[in-house]
Amino acid sequence: MSVMCHLGVVPVLLFASVAWADVADCACDPKNPATMERRECALCREAEKQPASPAVFFLKDINPRKPNRWLALPRSHGKTPAHRLADMTPEERTELWSAAIRKGRELWGDGWGLAINGDYSRTQCHMHIHIGKLLEGLETDTFKVVDGPAGIPVPTDGDGIWVHPCGDKLHVHYGEQITETVLMR
């Protein structure tokens, strides 16, 4: 059962936003500042402002409707226009997930959740993980249990994933495009 079934009816505007959210062909290039002016390149611009180290940085979500959300971002840009997790090395992915989990624990103890929207519903091309408090009572049938950040699989077919703690393991939910809705706004 999908997260959407658990959350009830989603406003029509949310679905309408998916139609223009695809960032698969984003043309931003940090070497050419003129290409970075588009709205979907805003996180790329933020990454360029960061020092080379540490490899992961955090931003408070600027959307006023998401006052409790943070973002974890790699400093580096992806190898493809959509900056997918698959573009990162296993070590880079583990570092990104580990940093996001630490931040989630710092903010919400064991109630944290992480989400990456699918390629066709992302509004920003730069890879980022939404960090927030997991909404109560959410669980679906489509998840994998992993021991830690290194075991979190790379999404396939442009799907999004969401992750939360379950005892000393992690549940990694997959097969959906819009995943950040599992987090408190």
Predicted confidence at residue 105, as pLDDT, reads 98
Predicted confidence at residue 20, as pLDDT, reads 43
Predicted confidence at residue 21, as pLDDT, reads 54
The CATH number of residue 73's host domain is: 3.30.428.10
Predicted confidence at residue 10, as pLDDT, reads 34
Burial of 86 (0-12, 13-18, 19+ CB in 10 A): middle
Identify the domain containing residue 145 by its residue range: 3-182
pLDDT tens for the chain, 185 residues: list them. 444 434 443 333 333 333 345 677 788 888 888 889 989 999 999 999 999 999 999 999 999 999 999 999 999 998 877 788 998 999 999 999 999 999 999 999 999 999 999 988 999 999 999 999 999 999 999 999 999 999 999 998 889 999 999 999 999 999 999 999 999 99
Does the pTM surpass 0.85? The reply is yes
Number of domains in the chain: 1
